Chains A and B, each alone.
Chain A
Amino acid sequence: MQAQNTITQMRRGFLEFCIVSLLANNEVYTAELIDRLKKANLLVTDGTLYPLLNRLQKAGLLQYRWEESESGPPRKYYSLTEPGRKLLNELDSAWQDINESVKLIRSGTKKLTKVQTNE
């Protein structure tokens, strides 16, 4: 039960990182975003994603534009804003630091490195 809680928290944190990563180089529309996250086993239901996207957009990290679709309702294409790109870079280096720290600890090395968390 405790593990499950931690896992949920971790997954939630990484979800934000993954969304920003997916948008790193190109515009992506919502359904595609959902598909790719589901394939990566990061998402169980679509409902979770929407409040998150909304929050990121309100924080000025994401922007979107509407595009008419030939088959079906109009699509919302998301892309990164300038602050979003900055966030991605910071999260990226933080992730690399954490990854290395975890590796170091798990490999049994006693040499400690200070984990740098960028704000």
Chain B
Amino acid sequence: MNKVVSIEIAGQVFSTDEEAYEVLHAYLKKIHVQLSAEEEAADILNDIELRIAELLYAFRSDDKKAISIEQVNEVIEQVGFIDSDIEAIETPRRFFLDQQNKIIAGVCAGLAMRFRVPAFIVRLIFLLLTPLAGLGIILYLVFWMSFDSNTSRNAVLAAQGKAQTAKSIAAVGGKSEGAAHQIQRIIFLPFSLIGALFTVIANHFRKRSGGYLRIMKNIVAFVLLGFATTACIIMYAAFNARVFPTLIALLLFIAAMYLVVLGLAIYFRDYYLSNPHFQIARRLKVGAVIPAGMLVATMFFLLNAWDVYQQETIERSYPLAGNLLNLQFIEDRPLDTAYGSVRISMKTSDSPGNQVRIAVDYSGYGFNAANAEENLRNVEYVYALNGNTLELNEFWSLSEGELSRGQRVNVLIEVPQNVAVRSLWPLVINRDGSPYIYSVGHSYYDDGGTYLASGEYFHEVDAGFRDRLSENERVVLQDKFCEEFYISEYRNCRYHIQMPVQRNYQFDRAFQEDLETIEQVRTYLLPNRSLFVSNLYEVNDLIQNLSVNLTAMSEFQEYLLYLAEVKLNPQLL
């Protein structure tokens, strides 16, 4: 007795044995898998089903019996598999990704098929190799990228080294959905999820690859154009910097331009445009070696040319008549040779007398000490002291035809005590100097003024500053405050003066009890408020009322009182 089932195939209804149905079902499923690489799989499958229906119809018309397993086998034998007319070809054993039994990408299953061992063992080996510096994962990725994907049954047989006949194809993969595989699917579920995720992402990129490629090409093109523009600017700057004699600089400029243009042309022709209209001759590409060689040689030459650093200071003293020094600045910049700006700074002199000391510091590089010295001597810098007026050039320049080798000029002016300096450029205190050094520099929103050299400071003494403290004076005040109430690394306090005393962990805990008073002092020093001389007395009062009894006057307090004194009685001319 046999159970009979009704099946519909290509719009026709047949009754078959249950056994025959199972065989037919499995066969169609295999055909489906085999066709999965084909583009028009659905159409072809329909045709094949139609053919099967036709053949089965011939059986049905003979008698009224249900279709038997023998008849189904006959049909399968006749229809066969795609491309299965290749008879008994011995194929080499090959590695494939096994799509049927895969957990992630089918690497382990593919290896297992090739070596004819259970896939579970291969998977375990990969898992055990993973703690060894991720060896398992690395090997997996390497195999994944190097194996072909196995979508057709023929490939499976190729992996097993078997002949590809209709029967052998039908026999493959029958046990793939066994219980053991099901258990493995559960055990390796996290891995299979990772695999699914990768597949989804990969499919997305494969389908949209055209769009992404276009976006990437546009981005790369923009970046390249940006680079080229930058390169041209750098080349132009280098050309003007007099690092080389004019002729060599011109040759290098041409060489670099050639490389930039050629690189852009190759990219836009070969990778950006899909249908380029012109060809880039091979000779031009090979020719790029010469300019590239020139530029590399230049690099090595320059590295050597910047090898040794030399410095030379020329110091001169001039007696000053009277108590006023006028500082004037001129912009004398030659057009045909290299030049640089001069760093000008000032400090007060601690020696008595009426001498203004001007130290000009030249520095530069060279192949060796002698060459470096020669290079720095090529610098031309002049200043002039006429009576009380010191005229300083803003720029230094190179002698005619000489080369630029990182030369620099610093000027330090030492002013005697109690001399007023009238400068067209403002003096800005440099916090890191000890004693303080003031840099003199051009400023768009500050016009300079009159400064009095007193102690190690320069004090603004113009009308606007009679009663009010300057920014430089506030900086010194902050420094003294930090030194007094913060532990050793007071620098940190100077740059974090905005931070409340309570929150600054460098606050000196010896003043714990007066924390609020000191916080009050700090708010006086903040840069967002004007400080008046009267404020200095208020701060002094606060300091005097501290609970810690200081035997000697603190430096902070000393400076407070000194500053108030200077502000109220400037010893002007």
Interface residue A13 (Cβ < 8 Å from any Cβ of B): no
Q: Are B81 and A45 in contact (CB under 8 A)?
A: yes
Contact status of A8 and B85, CB under 8 A, knowing A46-B51, A47-B80, A71-B61: yes
Q: Are A72 and B54 in contact (CB under 8 A)?
A: yes
Q: Are A8 and B86 in contact (CB under 8 A)?
A: yes
Interface residue A110 (Cβ < 8 Å from any Cβ of B): no
Interface residue A25 (Cβ < 8 Å from any Cβ of B): no
Q: Which of A1-49 contact B (CB under 8 A)?
A: 1, 4-5, 8, 11, 30-31, 34, 43-48
Interface residue A117 (Cβ < 8 Å from any Cβ of B): no
Instruction: Report the count of interface residues on B (CB-CB < 8 A).
Output: 33
Q: Are A73 and B54 in contact (CB under 8 A)?
A: yes
Q: Are B48 and A47 in contact (CB under 8 A)?
A: yes
Interface residue B82 (Cβ < 8 Å from any Cβ of A): yes
Interface residue B380 (Cβ < 8 Å from any Cβ of A): no
Q: Smallest distance from the beta carbon of B164 to chain A beta carbons, Å? A: 10
Q: Which of B56-93 contact A (CB under 8 A)?
A: 57-58, 61, 77-90
Which residues does chain B contribute within 8 Å of A81, judged by CB atoms?
Answer: none
User: What CA separation (Å) do A5 and B85 show in the bound complex?
Assistant: 11
User: What CA separation (Å) do A8 and B154 show in the bound complex?
Assistant: 15
Report, as a range, how many residues of chain A touch the other chain: 20 to 34
Q: Are A73 and B79 in contact (CB under 8 A)?
A: no
Say which one of B38-46, B395-403, B442-450 lies at the interface with A: B38-46
Interface residue B53 (Cβ < 8 Å from any Cβ of A): yes
Interface residue A58 (Cβ < 8 Å from any Cβ of B): yes
Q: Are A50 and B85 in contact (CB under 8 A)?
A: no
Q: Are B80 and A44 in contact (CB under 8 A)?
A: yes
Q: Are B78 and A45 in contact (CB under 8 A)?
A: yes
Q: Are A73 and B89 in contact (CB under 8 A)?
A: no
Contact status of A44 and B48, CB under 8 A, knowing A58-B40, A72-B53, A73-B57: no
Please classify the interface of chain A as helix (H, G, I), strand (E, B), loop, or mixed, using the class held by over half of its residues: helix
Contact status of A45 and B166, CB under 8 A, knowing A51-B38, A51-B82, A73-B12: yes
Interface residue B223 (Cβ < 8 Å from any Cβ of A): no
Interface residue B10 (Cβ < 8 Å from any Cβ of A): yes
Interface residue B50 (Cβ < 8 Å from any Cβ of A): yes
Cβ-neighbour of A45 out of B57, B84, B88, B90 (below 8 A):
B84
Interface residue B11 (Cβ < 8 Å from any Cβ of A): yes
Which residues does chain A contribute within 8 Å of B54, judged by CB atoms?
Answer: 31, 72-73
Which residues does chain A contribute within 8 Å of B84, judged by CB atoms?
Answer: 44-45, 47-48
Q: Are B44 and A51 in contact (CB under 8 A)?
A: yes
Cβ-neighbour of B82 out of A5, A8, A48, A55 (below 8 A):
A48
Closest 6 CB pairs of A and B: A45-B80, A44-B85, A72-B57, A46-B79, A50-B47, A47-B80
9 extra interface residue pairs, beta carbon distance < 8 Å, beyond A44-B84, A44-B85, A54-B43: A8-B85, A8-B86, A8-B89, A46-B51, A47-B31, A47-B80, A50-B51, A53-B47, A72-B54
A residues within 8 Å of B by Cβ? Answer: 1, 4-5, 8, 11, 30-31, 34, 43-48, 50-51, 53-55, 58, 71-74, 76
Q: List 20 A-B contacts (CB under 8 A).
A: A1-B89, A8-B86, A30-B51, A31-B51, A44-B80, A44-B85, A45-B85, A46-B51, A47-B79, A47-B81, A50-B44, A50-B51, A51-B38, A54-B43, A55-B40, A72-B12, A73-B11, A73-B54, A74-B11, A76-B50
